[in-house]
Chains A and B, each alone.
Chain A
Amino acid sequence: MYDKTVRRRRAVLALLVVLSLILLTAYFGEATNGGLHSVQRGFLTVVSPIQDGANKALKPVRDLFGWFGDTLHAKSQVGELRKQNDKLRKEVIANRANEHGYHELLGLYHLDQLTLNNYRPVTATVVGKSPNIWYQTIWIDKGTSSGVQKNDPVINSEGLVGKVVQAVPDGAVIDLITDSEVGVSARINGTGATGVIQPKVGDPNDLVLQYLPANTSVTKGEYVVTSGTVSPSSQDNSLYPPGIAIGQVSSVDEESAYKSVNVHPLANLHNLDVVQVLTYTQGSKPARLTSLQAGLSSSGLTGAGGGEGNQLASTGAGG
């Protein structure tokens, strides 16, 4: 009797471990349109409306807990934000003077730029978040029925948030810019030097802008924005429009051959309630560029080299 119990216990453990390993190997090896990914999409389709309903019901509980943290955080930020506000006011006045000349030049050279105006923003509520430091993902209540597609960029009022990795009719899953699978081609707003923004695993408050040219001059506090190119050095195939704010330079690492800087994300990724997904319609400029990028990726043209992002769209200081 005892032997039988022991054998059964060990058999169950072995079965479950083997099953997990089979799942892991099959999932890791298959393409994104494979069987297991389809099961995952099917599960999301079924669960999204339930999660959306549960989120609405549980919102008061979440808000109550969030209120305490938000109040403490807001009090500590007041002084710093006032100083920042004064500095930004001066910058806005200076930028407005330059804007007129910039638009004249665009018209003169007939430049057709990819900007945020080419996109149709879809506002969505965040209904779930991963607790795991290795998977920085959130769950939103808008999906393919609202025009959301895989790889669409996601922003909020503060800056870049991430990109869509999975979309079903009533919901979508977003990889945050702090997820280890995300890499965004970015540039320093002041100098125009480009590199690839990647997260530091385990540090949700810090990103690192890598592969900057060694002679690039970077100072603390400069803004980093999307460059409007695709980053071939990561698994990220999203085409982020240029000029979306990502973060501010917090420190510079001079030691490596390629300069890298630490960047503090502008968007508060701990506390996301509402985000906007930048969707596009068929035939629009982003759609044409995305299909062009997909074509280049499949022919291996964008995969070569490991340095800066390849320039795909003709972009300037868009926005």
Chain B
Amino acid sequence: MTLSGSLVARIAVLVVVVVFFQIGVVSEVPVLGVAVDLSPLVVAFVGLLCGSTLGAATGFAVGLLVDLALVQTLGVASLIFTLVGYWCGRLRELRDPQATLTPLLVGAAASAAATVGYSLMEFLLGVDAPVSLELLRQIVLGVVVNTVVALPMWAIVRRTLEPDLPDDPRRRRRRAYTTGGLSPLSRA
């Protein structure tokens, strides 16, 4: 993907707005006893739309912002979100999934990967507190509520970045059919 300054600016604004909206509003409204976490979703969808390099860079930036703002151990969220963004970008580059439910599944997988990643990192860093079975329930519920908001979040991320996405094959194909152009098959 060609990097344009305008696209990077859009991603930067999106990331800052989402992280502060998350901390200031979304985290304070628990759903089923857990908070929706928009951070892995925004990273995953930027990766899915813009590719692995931008996905990884966005993941690193989101992680750093979250760690700085919430006085968490620096580097933990950056590492996890970098890998999530990269993985989603590679998915697009290798498979280019077109199904309507792709964002839903990618959102769920990204949320699960982020939560499990956090858990592994915290165990490695040495948690000084008893871990309860409730943790598993919280992780599952967290993934479920994140999956519910995945489609609206996908729509927001796509709408924000779309004007600067130069080579979206889906958009090109749709435009060709709706304006009376021939499909690639009939042309052959």
Chain A contact residues, CB within 8 Å of chain B: 8-9, 12-13, 16-17, 19-28, 36, 39-40, 43-44, 47, 50-51, 54-55, 58, 61-62, 65-66, 69, 126-135, 137, 139, 165-166, 173, 180-181, 183, 198-206, 208, 234-235, 270-271
Contacts and interface: CB of A to CB of B under 8 A. Distances in A.
A270 B30 contact: yes
A21 B75 contact: yes
B37 A131 contact: yes
Interface string B72-115: 11111011001100100000000000000000000000000001
A202 B131 contact: yes
B23 A12 contact: no
Contacts of B75: 20-27
A50 B23 CA distance: 12
A312 B90 CA distance: 57
A58 B71 contact: no
B36 A17 contact: no
B132 interface: yes
A44 B115 CA distance: 25
Nearest to B17: A54
Counting chain A CB atoms within 10 Å of each CB, the highest count among B23, B52, B79, B82 belongs to: B23
A36 to B, nearest CB: 6
B35 interface: yes
Contacts of A130: 23, 27, 70, 72
A131 B56 CA distance: 21
Nearest to A28: B73
Given A13-B52, A66-B29, A137 B71 contact: yes
A28 B76 CA distance: 10
CB-CB nearest 7 A-B residue pairs: A202-B135, A24-B75, A23-B75, A203-B134, A20-B79, A200-B132, A129-B27
A28 B70 contact: no
Interface residues of B, number: 59
B23 A51 contact: yes
A221 B135 CA distance: 25
Interface in B26-49: 26-30, 33-39
Contact of A139 (B23, B35, B59, B74): B23
Contacts of B76: 24
B67 to A, nearest CB: 8
A158 B82 CA distance: 40
B167 interface: no
Contacts of A128: 23-24, 27-28, 69-70
Contacts of B64: 23
Given A27-B73, A126-B28, A200 B78 contact: no
Contact of A40 (B63, B68, B119): B68
B44 to A, nearest CB: 15
Counting chain A CB atoms within 10 Å of each CB, the highest count among B21, B69, B115, B129 belongs to: B129
A180 B129 contact: yes
Contacts of A199: 129
A203 B135 contact: yes
A54 B24 contact: yes
B89 to A, nearest CB: 8
Contact of A200 (B25, B53, B128, B134): B134
A183 B128 contact: yes
26 contacts: A19-B60, A20-B82, A23-B74, A28-B125, A39-B68, A40-B71, A51-B23, A51-B24, A54-B20, A61-B25, A62-B25, A126-B28, A128-B28, A129-B23, A131-B23, A131-B26, A139-B69, A198-B128, A200-B129, A201-B122, A202-B132, A202-B134, A202-B139, A208-B130, A271-B28, A271-B30
Contact of B52 (A9, A47, A166): A9
B30 A69 contact: yes
B160 interface: no
Nearest to A64: B29
A204 B129 CA distance: 13
A134 B25 contact: no
Counting chain B CB atoms within 10 Å of each CB, the highest count among A24, A43, A173, A199 belongs to: A24
Contacts of B138: 133, 202-204
B24 to A, nearest CB: 5
